[in-house]
Amino acid sequence: MNCPMPDVMNILQMQKMNNKQQSPSTIRFTDLFIDFDDTLYDTHGNAQIALQELFDQMEFGRWFAQPAVFFDEYWKANIDLWTRYSRGEITREYLIIERFRKPLSFGNGCDPDEDLCRAVGDKFLELCADKPGVVDGAHQLMEYLKAKGYKMHMCSNGFHEVQYRKLKASRLYDFFDNIILSEDAGSNKPSAQFFDYAFKVTNANPATTLMIGDNFQTDILGAKRAGIATAFFNRFPDYPPPEAVDFEVHSLLELTTIL
């Protein structure tokens, strides 16, 4: 008879189950690669405050009757430039200057030449670097993860001199075992070079490493290509991830149900 006997079927099923790859929900993760900006650190909220300070201190009111015009144009330019920076298409110098050239060009009587844009860019980074605001639940989450013994590695495309100041200002520095910055890796997330560098520095095992981040293109796709599990911090649930992720959370503290 061709049909296997029931006990043989059970054995085959058990063998199949044993051979099956572990699903991410059953993995005991040891190492966490954690994005910083807008995952733990409230980059957007802190930058809004810094932009207002910049506007007041550099007296942009002389060019803008409506401050909202300047702010809106800044955010449009900034998003576009960071996307290009993560792809390695532009340098950090270009980003720092150009993210102010376009918004300032909307000012009445303003001539956004390179000197002005550089001065504004430097002042803005200075104002941003000491802002303490974090995303809701960031400290509670990090205390929880530390107590559970996870090794935590910050993985960020942010600028070297600014990130350390933000880490200190937000009181998040001490939670991390390693700070992995793209400027040290020589390449930005989502590149393979960034993740290779991160594994080299941390000695983490890819099979038990989880990437946590809010940016689908850089954090999640980069980690997927590097073959590690992913937890997408989707802060805007109206926009579902375009590809499957291992975990999706809408608040930081939801991660405590996974980890």
| Site residues for Mg ion per CB under 5 A | 35, 37-39, 214-215
CB of 218 to Mg ion, least distance (A): 7
Looking at the Cβ atoms of 35 and 42, the one nearer to Mg ion is 35
Q: Let me know: does 195 contact 223? Beta carbons within 8 Å.
A: yes
CB-based contacts of 76-79 (< 8 A; 24+ apart in sequence)? 76/102, 77/101, 77/102, 77/103
Minimum CB distance to Mg ion smaller for 97 or for 154: 154
Compute the least distance from the CB of residue 7 to Mg ion, in Å.
53
**Nearer Cβ to Mg ion, position 37 or 42?**
37
d(CA 164, CA 174): 11
Beta bridge partners of 181: 156
Minimum CB distance to Mg ion smaller for 39 or for 46: 39
Minimum Å gap between C-beta 111 and Mg ion is: 34
Q: How far is the CB of 28 from Mg ion (least distance, A)?
A: 26
Q: Considering the complex, state which of residue 104 and residue 223 has its C-beta at the smaller distance from Mg ion.
A: 223
Three-state DSSP state, 237:
coil
C-alpha span between 20 and 27 (Å, rounded): 13
| Exposed / middle / buried, residue 41 (Cβ in 10 Å: 0-12, 13-18, 19+) | buried
**Least CB distance to Mg ion at residue 79 (A):** 12
Separation between Cα atoms, residue 38 and residue 47, nearest integer Å: 11
CB count in 10 Å sphere of residue 133: 17
Residue 23 per-residue DSSP state: P
Cβ-based nearer residue to Mg ion, 39 or 230: 39
In the chain, what is the straight-line distance between the N-terminal and C-terminal CA atoms, in Å? 49
Element (H, E) at 231: strand 229-233
Question: What's the min distance (Å) between Cβ of 118 and Mg ion?
Answer: 25
Shortest gap between Cβ of 185 and Mg ion (angstroms)? Answer: 16
What crossing angle do the helices spanning 160-169 and 114-129 adopt, rounded to 10°?
30
Q: Which is nearer to Mg ion, 31 or 214 (CB)?
A: 214
